């Protein structure tokens, strides 16, 4: 098990090189702090959120026998809402439309979020009213408890959605509360549920909440620069030559190196999460979310180390590796949306349309990390992104091993 | 044991190694002697399979060097190739693991190596905190931790203090005498080649000039002494060389780095004759010394020039 000896060696070198370790761990924290202070209050501003409302509500008969449609009422309420601190500005720009059209509007980012009012919405509101009246007069009724679910959907990689969904969830709970207090003043039983991409959202979402996972991905991407420099130093110092003439295989060297560095990536996720929470990140989830986030971080780490192998295959010395690394890593961080979301760019290939940024494993890592940490999603929601990023990381690793072996581990010519 | 045939290495227009053919016997210390840039390192890199020759073949025990089992050769490079953040013991353990040395064998072997190379007290010291001499010794230890059949040492004494050099030389002799290893040594230090090598290959400009034992090489140019002279007006060097060359007792006379080297039997007795020649040309002696024939003189005789640094 030569790769274990290599992993132990790399781990010892990593821990004993205090300056390098300091840089790896503190530099991203520094970035996180800048972003925390810069964007911590943003998103809570006074611009209307563009939403598409798909009202499927079929109405209901109320206690006086009239036909009412609470879906229409909710739509009108959404249109009428103003910012509490600025009465001249609407909270939402509402576009009422069909589901398919709403999806198109989402894709072009004309709207931030889509809100679907279900067919039984009026029934559930009427049920809420009836039961509230009954309970206020001391009667209990188990009959006619109808619940409905309003679905809010959108692109989780788009900051506009993050802010809009937070506001919508907050407003919908207010709406339900409003109905009950209008009747009795009592606390409502939950009759109207909201579902944001099947996960819970936050009520006061800021840009920092959206950007914090991006900082984690940026930190993991930065590992590529450090690891590339270390690999090149191994070439420069000649220690690679020693290993090369031994019985070590390329796999031992590169897989052995992968272990401590991908653990660093996992550790970075935890450290940066703690820092982000201290800076005000309103994160969702539990210990399970952290574990899931660490796994996602490790996968991104593997991709970064693979990128480092590719860089180290071409760099002549560690300075060149660091420079080349920065030249590749920073634009990649932008492309993956680590700093701010880029406009969607779709390309058509073999009859399928996909986002060009999706070819990078870190794009999926970011989406998955954001879902897990900010929206509190579980494995079922992020599995596809995690699997895709793992597959892409594996492809990158194979390319890295191939190039590094070819350029650095064969006999010189 | 090692058979190199017509080894050639070309870098663009530069012929680094030109048709080198050498056979190295099992259990001998074989020295490559030549100035820096003579093609020594390039030659041994090809001989251990680290560098592909432009043409020619290398066989180790009858097997093509590219196919020979890894671990047959141990290479101690000219430069220090060490992991700065590992300790001496950790470095040796790592290399032993890389050569698949079982832990039971590895531990006593590492202990012995540290002891033999006077590194026991520094076993748990981080490499970056070692002195230059200690690093050199560790550099060698890393090359032999797997007990290879062939040990290649590229300029092992470079930058060593006298104490470390003595430790190293003793260790090289012990490898041959006690363990029967084949040692290939490159050096530009005459004394090192003379003291350690069973046979010496003199190379310059990528070509093998002569291959023999140090004794035979010295015999080949005679047992004369060398008068090393410097005259005040070096522009007259050639005149003096021409005059001295006419003397029948003078074996050879050459100019080396502005000085005149005169080789003659019983040189002390020939000094009056030499001084008369100097006076006849009306030049003055700035510096003069007489010494015994060395390997360097062999080199000068063969190449017509001194060793370049």
Complex ipTM: 0.72
Distance CA A28, CA A221 (A): 10
Q: Does A237 touch chain B (CB under 8 A)?
A: yes
**Proportion of chain B above pLDDT 70, given as a percent:** 96
Residues A324 and A397 in one domain: yes
Chain B window 25-54: which residues touch A at a Cβ cutoff of 8 Å?
A: 45, 48-52
Residue B295 above 80 pLDDT?
Answer: no
* CA torsion angle B263 B266 B269 B271 (round to 10): 20
Cβ(A44)–Cβ(A208) under 8 Å? no
Order of strands across the sheet that contains B63-64: B14-24, B2-11, B55-60, B63-64
B152 has pLDDT over 50: yes
Asked if the structure places residue A27 within a domain, the reply is no
pLDDT value of position A282: 73
Q: What is the largest CA-CA distance in chain A?
A: 93
Residues A86 and A124 in one domain: yes
Residue A188 confidence (pLDDT) = 47
Average pLDDT, chain B: 86
Both A224 and A296 in one domain: the answer is: yes
Q: What is the pLDDT of residue A198?
A: 30
Q: Is residue A198 within 8 angstroms of chain B, CB to CB?
A: no
Domain match, A151 and A294 both: no
| Entry pTM | 0.69
3-state secondary structure B24-92: ECCCCEEEEECCCCCCHHHHHHHHCCCECCCEEEEEECCEECCCCCCCCEEEECCCCCCCCCCEHHHHH
Q: Are residues A228 and A348 in the same domain?
A: yes
Q: Are A234 and A189 contained in the same domain?
A: no
Kindly state whether residue A13 falls inside one of the protein's structural domains.
no
Q: Given the structure tokens 């031992």, which residue do they identify?
A: A252
Domain boundary among A139, A167, A198: A198
Closest to A284 measured CA to CA, from A114, A149, A162: A162
Name every residue whose Cβ is closer than 8 Å to that of residue B271 and which is 6 or more positions away in sequence. Answer: B227, B290
Strand order in the sheet with B150-154: B73-76, B150-154, B182-187, B29-33, B199-204, B207-212
Instruction: Find out whether A55 and A71 touch, Cβ atoms under 8 Å.
Output: yes
* One domain, residues A389 and A270: yes
* Residue closest to A334 by CA, chosen among A370, A372, A308, A366: A366
Q: B10 CB near a chain A CB, below 8 Å?
A: no
Distance CA B31, CA B19 (A): 18
pLDDT under 50: residue ranges of chain A: 186-190, 195-203
Residue B304, number of CB atoms within 10 A of its CB? 11
Position with higher pLDDT, A173 vs B107:
B107
A215, A191: one domain: no
| Total structural domains within chain A | 2
A242 lies in some domain:
yes
The token duo for B280 is 């006849």
Q: Which contiguous run of DSSP H or E holds residue B190?
A: helix B190-196
Verify that A279 and A140 share a domain, yes or no: no
pLDDT at B52 exceeding the cut of 90? no
Which pLDDT belongs to residue A327? 93
Residue found by looking up tokens 């919508």 in the block: A168
| Cβ neighbours of A413 (radius 10 Å) | 7
Query: Residue A15: inside a domain, yes or no?
Result: no
Domain match, A286 and A247 both: yes
Pick the last residue of a domain from A198, A221, A256: A198
pLDDT at position A224 is: 92
Binding-face residues of B in 78-97 toward A, CB within 8 A: 79-86, 90, 93-95, 97
Looking only at Cα atoms, what is the longest distance across chain B?
Answer: 76
Residues A395 and A316 in one domain: yes
| Selected residue with higher pLDDT from B235 and A178 | B235
A125's tokens:
């509101």
Contact assessment for residue B85 and residue B128, using Cβ atoms and an 8 Å cutoff: yes
Residues A174 and A218 in one domain: no
B191-214 per-position pLDDT tens digit: 888 888 999 998 888 888 888 888
Is the distance from CB of B129 to CB of B84 less than 8 angstroms?
Answer: no
Does the residue A270 lie in any domain?
yes
CATH number at residue A109: 3.40.1710
Q: Do B94 and A9 touch (CB under 8 A)?
A: yes
The reply to whether A58 falls in a domain is: yes
Spatial neighbors of A143 by CB under 8 A, at least 6 apart, are none
The enclosing H or E element of A362 equals: helix A361-373
CA distance A65 to A63: 5
pLDDT tens digits, B80-103: 899 999 999 999 999 999 999 999
Residue range of the domain that includes A234: 206-408
Of the candidates A16, A248, A413, the beta carbon closest to that of B98 is on A248
Classify residue A56: in a domain, yes or no: yes
Band the pLDDT of B29: cuts 50, 70, 90. very high
- In total, the C-beta contacts within 8 angstroms joining chain A to chain B are 73
Q: What is the dihedral of CA A53, A56, A61, A66, to 10 degrees?
A: 50
**Is A251 an interface residue toward B (CB < 8 Å)?**
no
Residue B15 Cα distances to B187, B192, B200, angstroms: 20, 27, 22
A21 lies in a domain? no
CA torsion A231→A234→A237→A239, rounded to 10°?
Answer: -170
Task: Retrieve residue B253's tokens.
Answer: 């006379």
Of A147, A163, A198, which marks where a domain is finished? A198
């Amino acid at each position: 098990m030569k790769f274990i000896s290599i992993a132990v060696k790399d781990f010892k070198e990593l821990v004993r090189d205090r300056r390098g370790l300091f840089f790896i761990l503190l530099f991203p924290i520094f970035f996180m702090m800048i972003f925390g202070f810069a964007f911590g209050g943003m998103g809570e501003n006074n611009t209307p959120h563009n939403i598409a409302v798909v009202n499927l509500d079929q109405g209901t008969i109320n206690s006086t026998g009239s036909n009412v449609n609470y879906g229409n009422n909710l739509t009108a309420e959404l249109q009428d809402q103003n910012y509490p601190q600025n009465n001249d500005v609407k909270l939402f720009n509402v576009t009422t439309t069909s589901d398919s059209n709403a999806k198109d509007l989402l894709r072009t980012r004309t709207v931030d979020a889509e809100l679907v009012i279900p067919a039984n919405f009026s029934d559930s509101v009427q049920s809420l009213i009836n039961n509230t009246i009954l309970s206020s007069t001391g009667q209990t009724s188990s009959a006619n408890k109808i619940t409905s679910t309003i679905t809010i959907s959108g692109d989780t990689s788009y900051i506009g959605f993050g802010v809009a969904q937070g506001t919508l969830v907050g407003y919908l709970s207010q709406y339900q509360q409003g109905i009950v207090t209008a009747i009795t003043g009592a606390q409502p039983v939950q009759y109207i549920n909201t579902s944001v991409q099947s996960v819970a959202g936050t009520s006061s979402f800021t840009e920092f909440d959206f950007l914090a996972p991006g900082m984690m991905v940026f930190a993991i991407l930065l590992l590529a620069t450090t690891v590339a420099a270390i690999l090149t130093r191994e070439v420069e110092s000649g220690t690679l030559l020693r290993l090369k003439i031994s019985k070590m295989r390329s796999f031992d060297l590169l897989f052995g190196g992968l272990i401590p560095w991908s653990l660093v990536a996992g550790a970075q996720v935890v450290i940066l999460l703690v820092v982000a929470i201290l800076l005000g990140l309103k994160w969702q989830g539990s210990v399970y979310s952290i574990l899931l986030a660490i796994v996602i971080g490790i996968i991104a780490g593997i991709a970064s180390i693979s990128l480092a192998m590719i860089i180290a295959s071409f760099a002549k010395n560690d300075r060149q590796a660091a420079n080349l690394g920065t030249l590749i890593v920073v634009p990649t961080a932008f492309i993956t949306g680590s700093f701010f979301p880029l406009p969607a760019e779709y390309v058509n290939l073999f009859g399928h349309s996909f986002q060009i940024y999706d070819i990078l494993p870190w794009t999926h890592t970011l989406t998955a990390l954001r879902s897990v940490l900010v929206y509190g999603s579980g494995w079922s929601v992020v599995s596809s992104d995690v699997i895709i990023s793992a597959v892409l990381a594996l492809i990158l690793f194979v390319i890295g091993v191939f190039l590094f072996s070819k350029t650095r581990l064969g006999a010189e010519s | 044991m090692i058979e190199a045939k017509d080894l050639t290495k070309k870098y663009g227009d530069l012929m680094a190694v030109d048709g080198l053919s050498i056979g190295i016997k099992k259990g001998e210390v074989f020295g490559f002697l030549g100035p820096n840039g003579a093609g020594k390192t390039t030659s041994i890199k090809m001989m251990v399979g680290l560098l592909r020759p432009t043409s020619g073949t290398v066989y180790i025990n009858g097997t093509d060097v590219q196919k020979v089992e890894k671990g047959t050769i141990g290479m101690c490079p000219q430069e220090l190739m060490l992991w700065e953040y590992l300790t001496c013991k950790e470095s040796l353990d790592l290399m032993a693991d890389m050569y698949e040395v079982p832990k039971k064998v590895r531990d006593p072997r590492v202990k012995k190596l540290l002891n033999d190379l006077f590194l026991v007290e520094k076993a748990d010291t981080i490499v970056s905190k070692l002195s230059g001499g200690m690093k050199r010794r560790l550099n060698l230890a890393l090359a032999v931790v797997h007990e290879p059949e062939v040990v290649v040492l590229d300029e092992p004494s470079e930058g060593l203090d006298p104490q470390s050099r003595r430790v190293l030389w003793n260790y090289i002799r012990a490898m041959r005498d006690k363990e029967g290893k084949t040692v290939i040594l490159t050096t530009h230090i005459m004394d090192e080649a003379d003291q350690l090598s069973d046979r010496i290959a003199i190379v310059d400009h990528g070509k093998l000039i002569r291959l023999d034992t140090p004794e035979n090489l010295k015999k080949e140019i005679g047992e004369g002494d060398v008068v090393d002279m410097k005259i005040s007006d070096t522009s007259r060097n050639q005149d003096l060389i021409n005059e001295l060359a006419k003397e029948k007792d003078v074996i050879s006379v050459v100019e080396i780095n502005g000085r005149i080297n005169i080789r003659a039997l019983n040189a002390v007795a020939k000094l009056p004759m030499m001084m008369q020649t100097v006076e006849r040309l009306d030049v003055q002696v700035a510096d003069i010394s007489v010494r015994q024939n060395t390997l360097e003189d062999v080199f000068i005789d063969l190449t017509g020039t001194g060793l370049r640094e």
